[in-house]
Chain A
Amino acid sequence: MQLSDFFEPYKGEIKEVTIGPSGKAVKLGGEQTLPFHAFEGKEGVPVRFALEVFDTPPEGWPEHLRSSYADVLSDPVAWADKCIKQYGADLISLYLSSLDSENADPAKIAEKVKGIADHLSVPLIVLGVGDKDKDAKALVEIAKVCTGKNLLLGPLVKENYEEIAKAALEGGHSIIPQSPLDINLCKELNVKLAKFFPKERVVIDPLSAAIGYGIDYSFSIMERVKQVAVIHNDEMMKAPMVANIGKDCWKTKEAKEDKTQGILWEALTAFTLILAGANLVIMRHPESLKLVKKLVSGKE
């Protein structure tokens, strides 16, 4: 008799989502068990990590974060290269900070994104600023201009998911639908998307919060999403999840006031949400990345 004889196999398998064009693609998800429960069922691909790059020089970053990128902050391509080659990012998450300026031109932004995507050796995530109209305009344009590059585009919210998803579908990209810390609304958006968008190209964002700033809500919801998908086999919830934590961690006063504290804040926020079920984590500080990778793999 073996230990596994006592386990009932889980019914639901998280969809395996492929980001990036062939040759430099990265897969996410694919597990048929709960996080770190390898003894109960098939584990998917390992958790993937993206580092953030801004398309305009970021403002308000503390020196102990800024210094890791001081030489590349105004050059997204060099910045991304540094994240990949020096810091070991599996993917790059490009934050379209330029959308915050008055005269942002979606066509120009899209061309710039294409240049970055072409140059990189890893897949590209492209994230808007969270303004439903600005994001929609830019992401639709980017989806067109970058056809075939299989970017991961987001966030899609209930007010703009239709137009962005349609463009992503035509351009052959994957998407990140985002819901406001509410599992029922998360499912709602997935149901609506599933009517016209392939489930194999969806990574959901139930919204992440940092330690001390509501991570318990994020944890509960991500945990429930994973349970509903894996244990209850809910067709609409079997998507990999993303935890986009850099922004929320580095705006906390705890992360800003001290280097070690900031790195730990981000690494432990990441690790906590990986325990809850995140398949992809978007981070900011290379040392937090290093630390959490070490925690997850158990290797030095």
Chain B
Amino acid sequence: MILIGENIHILSKVVSDAIKARDEKPLQELAIKQANAGADYIDLNVGPARKDPDVMKWIAGVIQEVVKKPLSLDTTNPVAMEAGLSVCKIPPLINSASGKQESKEKMLPLAAKYNCDVVLSVLIDAGIPTDSSSRAEAIMETVAYANEIGIPNERIWVDPIMMPISVDQPQVVELFEFMKILQDICPEAKSTLGLSNLSNGTPEHLRGILNRICLAMLDRYNCFSAIVDSFDEELVKLAKGQLPDIKNLIYRAMDEEVDTSNLPKKEADIVKTVNVLMGRSLYSHSWLET
């Protein structure tokens, strides 16, 4: 699975301070650390950058000086996006466009113009679709539009939009359902999603297990990539196929009800987490304790 490292994010204080001060050092360090940890792409989330669209040009420039990984330019501002695109040496990923009218008009054409891959989310003007079939409906329309303006399916990374499980557990199940049918409705399209949003609101020490197991499940549903915390070592290993025993247990728990009463705690925790993600048991912050 392709991993997009999320750790250069405007919401991080280190990152926002460095950006404000145009201090490339901390950002370059973060990029190098992520590349060494196993990130395949480095996401550069600069926020909407309304007052300072040139920031993307600067940050893309300083990051590609130190890592030879493709970048994922992450902003909703098409002006900032184009500023970044104009300097990238390796074709980057546009993160992201959506089915909203404004995005279709201003962001999506940049993927055609710069001949690069683009993340296309299921978001439309009416909002985020709430079940798998409305996700399908939304993305088919947006993909058809992208095809028309010259972006083929294989350059589109569909983002089904991950929602926090603590807010709306059924949405996680709907997302899996959507992933299962994605190849049928958009053949050859790639996919990606912001994995960490799954555990937004979940107690900090429990976020890792939720994210990791969900990623393995998504992998099984042929999810092409995910935007992840590069510094979660176990997550990276699992995504790169280095933890086959854990992966097999996750798959078994997906296929059948596994009795947890005789399992060691670590394995029981995995099974319980699969059950919560599959919607078999109701989520609560103490799902591992029941």
Contact = CB atoms under 8 A, between A and B. Distances in A.
B200 interface: no
Given A184-B166, A184-B169, A191 B282 contact: no
Contacts, number: 34
B265 interface: no
B286 A184 contact: no
Interface string A178-190: 0000011111101
A192 B203 CA distance: 15
B282 A183 contact: yes
A235 interface: yes
B283 interface: yes
B286 A234 contact: no
A234 B282 contact: yes
Contacts of A192: 286
Nearest to A189: B284
A232 B281 contact: yes
Contacts of B280: 232
A31 to B, nearest CB: 19
Given A232-B281, A234-B281, A191 B169 contact: no
B220 interface: no
A192 B290 CA distance: 9
Contacts of A187: 282-284
Interface centre among B280, B282, B286, by most chain A C-beta atoms within 10 angstroms, is B282
Nearest to A190: B284
A156 interface: no
Given A235-B290, A236-B290, A188 B281 contact: no
B204 interface: no
A191 B281 contact: no
A61 to B, nearest CB: 38
A66 B169 CA distance: 44
Contacts of B290: 191, 194, 235-236
A264 interface: no
B289 interface: yes
B169 to A, nearest CB: 7
A232 to B, nearest CB: 7
A228 interface: yes
A29 to B, nearest CB: 18
Nearest to A233: B281
A175 interface: no
Given A191-B289, A235-B290, A236-B290, A185 B284 contact: yes
B166 to A, nearest CB: 6
Interface centre among B284, B286, B289, by most chain A C-beta atoms within 10 angstroms, is B284
B282 A237 contact: yes
23 contacts: A184-B166, A184-B169, A184-B283, A184-B284, A184-B285, A185-B284, A187-B284, A188-B284, A188-B285, A190-B284, A191-B284, A191-B290, A192-B286, A194-B290, A195-B289, A228-B282, A232-B280, A232-B281, A232-B282, A234-B282, A235-B290, A236-B284, A236-B290
Interface of B: 166, 169, 280-286, 289-290
Given A184-B282, A232-B280, 17 more contacts: A183-B282, A184-B169, A185-B284, A187-B283, A187-B284, A188-B284, A188-B285, A190-B284, A191-B284, A191-B286, A194-B290, A195-B289, A228-B282, A232-B282, A236-B282, A236-B290, A237-B282
Interface of A: 183-188, 190-192, 194-195, 228, 232, 234-237
